[in-house]
Structure 1
Amino acid sequence: MIENNIISTMSKIEKLEIALTTFNSKRALSNIDKDLEILNVGKSSLMIDKNSPKSGYYNRVKGFCEEDIVNLENILNTYSKYEIEPCFEITPNNISENVSRTLSKEGFINVEQLVYMELKELEAIQSDSKIEIFKVTESNAEEFINIILLSNEGMDISQKVIENKKHYFYESNFHNYIAYSSGEVAGIGSMFISENVGYIANDYTFEKARGLGCQKVLLAHRINEAIKLGLESLYTDVVFGSISHSNMKKLGFTDVYMSSFWMK
């Protein structure tokens, strides 16, 4: 029964993460619009974005397992039409010796692991921090995008892209927040909502504000907002052993599973 509960939660996270990726493709700050397509081959879900052929994020295979080994040639040919080398995201229930050997023979190696986490019981968190949190609205959406650009050095997009995409950052299913310390921007964070659950994402703290507890305050604020919105649970993904991983655990998130990412 415990295993079935874990698999059920994992399936919920996979579905939510696909919804998030689909939304991200629409709001992506890029001079070339994303063109994400999702196809099903066997038990695998293929995310394909021919406009972003180098992106492992937008060109992922989810759900690949032993049963789909017979479909591997078809899967790879589907991507090769667009000169794309996909990323295979393999969950722990699908990893096996046969899957590992098959992907290795095709030149794929395990390059990264991410931990998916869950917060099931949402409880309000009090904070006496002097860090101030402001929600992104229509009035400050462009300011927020400029903050994103500052956090991504070398990112260059046109004013037209900003005008066309800024509405995504204050839609009802995508809540964004800016943290200020002593009147200066300290960090940002997002919460994507699908049905009655949320996904914590896009956490970033500027170097000058690191060590002040900015992300803990941002995270606590989003948990409190999730409670106000009546959400049942929250999910996120982090690098194992990272500061974000530690912060999530301190506020009640628990590990659900770890995915491995196979790329050439």
Structure 2
Amino acid sequence: MNRTPPPLTPELAYKLEASCTFFSTEKQKALASLPGNPYGVQTRTFGKATAFLARKTHNSEIFNHVGNLTRDDLPYLDAILDWYAHNDVSCSFDIVPSNASPELLWHLAMKGLYQSSFYNMFYGLPYVAQEFLSDIVIRPVLPEEKNLFAEVYFESFEVPKTKTYAYVRQSICTLVEIPTNHCLFAFIHNSLAAIAVISISRGIGYLALSATRPSFRGRGCQNALLQARIHLASRAGCDLVTCQAGVGTVSQRNVEKVGLRLAYTKATWTTFNEHQNPRNTIDPTNR
């Protein structure tokens, strides 16, 4: 069976990024609907770009970010930066090579942004999953298990109790309640070992965050969860699946093992702030 995905074009790259943006948009909608909007969450569109604001996350540029910015959105750059400045927060931009331009990058630098990180984007065709290892059982997360889902995330990434802790916890819990998300548990011998999410929109399955508890790493949970989500995308009639992973990480090796190929390496550009702590970051796939 041919599993070769279509060639990457700027148009396809935009669609892949749009699946990430959709995932974040749905989460932001859910957080904004909480009584009193406690985290000051807003979402705005500038041209083709989507800007996310979580004003009360203590100036975290990770959560105040802009997705799918292209060279065509350069006329909106001042308005975007003014919006974040008006709300007194730093911000970051996800930049895809095929949709950028030297002029756009020059203006980002002129506005005081710097290139702060890289992420690899992968894509592939959905397919019916193979048999998982016999000791791994995967099932959907029930709505009443959202707190347990969040606990596994926090344990897996050893998230410190910083000022953004409450926001991150609420955002993880919210994922379970979004209709376009499918949240999964993986068990080994009846012990909860790992979690994962897939977001489905416009024919693309976005393999969002995944996490394995430290004591269960290296036992095939993420491979099984990747295949389970790819299978869900196939059953949902998706044309493609996509995900992002840190460059050269275990996550990258896992997605390559299940047949996904590199689409591009995107860069994150961040507004410079001398008080920032570059090491104080949380898994970006919860955006």
Is TM-score (shorter-chain normalized) higher than 0.5?
Answer: yes
1:233 aligns with 2:235: no
State the match for 2:51 in structure 1.
46
Q: CA deviation at 1:228?
A: 2.5
1-structure distance, mates of 2:9, 2:123: 11
State the match for 2:19 in structure 1.
16
1:138-153 matches, cutoff 5 A:
138-151=143-156, 152-153=158-159
State the match for 1:35 in structure 2.
41
Q: Tell me how large the CA RMSD over aligned residues is.
A: 3.2
2-structure distance, mates of 1:157, 1:111: 25
State the match for 2:120 in structure 1.
115
The one-letter code sitting in structure 2 at the alignment partner of 1:20 is F
1-structure distance, mates of 2:144, 2:94: 38
Contact 1:170 1:176 in 2 (8 A): no
TM-score with structure 1 setting the length: 0.82
The one-letter code sitting in structure 2 at the alignment partner of 1:56 is E
State the match for 2:195 in structure 1.
188
* Compared CA separation, residues 64 and 226, structure 1 to 2 (3 A): closer
* Compared CA separation, residues 34 and 182, structure 1 to 2 (3 A): farther
State the match for 1:104 in structure 2.
109
Q: CA deviation at 1:260?
A: 0.5
* Compared CA separation, residues 206 and 28, structure 1 to 2 (3 A): farther
State the match for 1:250 in structure 2.
257
* Compared CA separation, residues 195 and 212, structure 1 to 2 (3 A): same
2-structure distance, mates of 1:122, 1:15: 22
TM-score with structure 2 setting the length: 0.77
Moved more, 124-133 or 26-35: 26-35
1:86 aligns with 2:91: yes
1:218 aligns with 2:225: yes
Contact 2:138 2:184 in 1 (8 A): yes
Contact 2:180 2:199 in 1 (8 A): yes
1-structure distance, mates of 2:11, 2:199: 20
Contact 1:180 1:186 in 2 (8 A): yes
User: How many correspondences in the alignment?
Assistant: 259
Q: CA deviation at 1:246?
A: 1.0
The one-letter code sitting in structure 1 at the alignment partner of 2:267 is S
- Partner-residue secondary structure (3-state), 1:217: helix
Q: CA deviation at 1:194?
A: 1.3
2-structure distance, mates of 1:121, 1:146: 30
Q: Specify the structure having the higher radius of gyration (Cα).
A: 1
State the match for 1:205 in structure 2.
212
1:56 aligns with 2:79: no
Contact 1:136 1:170 in 2 (8 A): no
1-structure distance, mates of 2:105, 2:182: 38
Contact 1:53 1:59 in 2 (8 A): no
Contact 2:59 2:89 in 1 (8 A): yes
1-structure distance, mates of 2:26, 2:60: 16
Aligned-pair identity (%): 22
Q: Which runs of 5+ in 1 are unaligned?
A: none
Q: CA deviation at 1:14?
A: 2.2
Moved more, 74-83 or 252-261: 74-83
State the match for 2:81 in structure 1.
76
Contact 2:13 2:98 in 1 (8 A): no
Q: CA deviation at 1:188?
A: 0.7
Q: CA deviation at 1:241?
A: 1.2
* Compared CA separation, residues 150 and 244, structure 1 to 2 (3 A): closer
